[in-house]
Amino acid sequence: MATVLVQEADFDIGAEIAALRAGRTDIGAIVSFTGTVRDLDGGLKAMTLEHYPGMTEAELARIATEAEARWPLQGCRIIHRFGRLLPGDQIVLVITLSAHRQAAFEAADFLMDFLKSKAPFWKKEETEGGAEWVAAKDSDTDALDRWP
């Protein structure tokens, strides 16, 4: 039931949620998570996302299937962009739909934790000083321990 998209184009949060909800009356709760390019100190010029075509889609589908096995979801969508993005641009969208709010919240939280440490994407930041690959955070791997 989950659908996964890996694309260069931007996405429309409202339209994506509307498409998942269309004509349905059995859904009680919809959670969306959107990740954006953050520039805390004003020094970021751009962020380029490299990915592993084929494996990225497969890995996101595996993560979504795992979420559907753990929670009673009525819908699930993951969109992740690649390519060159600017500060403020949207990077990733996760939407979960369920009859119950706790299931929708936990599944979206879980999906982001797994996506962060399993989906084959690599960020390169461009600043005045040049371009550098972003180092992975231990906290992202540690976050997986929240979901035994």
Partner 1 sequence: MQLIYFAWVKERIGKSEEVLHLPDHVGTVAELLDYLSGINEIYAHALSNRAMLRVAVNQTHVGLDHAVKDTDEIAIFPPVTGG
Binding residues for its own copies, per CB under 8 A?
Answer: 12-15, 17, 21, 23-40, 44, 87-88, 99, 101, 104-105, 108-109, 112
For partner 1, what does the binding mask look like between residues 83 and 122, x meaning CB under 8 A?
--------xx-------------------x--xxxxxxxx
* β-pair partners for 132: 125
Can you read off the two tokens belonging to residue 85? 């993005």
Interface pick for partner 1 out of 25, 135, 139, 148 (rule CB under 8 A) = 135
Cα Rg of the chain, angstroms: 16
Max CA separation in the chain (angstroms): 53
User: Please, what is the minimum distance in Å from the beta carbon of residue 88 to its own copies?
Assistant: 4
Can you read off the two tokens belonging to residue 84? 């060159």
Can you read off the two tokens belonging to residue 46? 């751009």
Identify residue 7 by its one-letter amino acid code.
Q
Q: Where are the alpha helices (DSSP H) in the chain?
A: 13-21, 55-70, 101-118, 138-142
- Tell me the number of residues near partner 1 by CB under 8 A: 28
Q: Which of its own copies, partner 1, none lies near 148, with the C-beta cut-off 5 to 8 A by kind?
A: none
**Contact set with partner 1 (CB under 8 A):** 35, 49-52, 54-55, 58-59, 80, 91-92, 112, 115-124, 133-136, 141
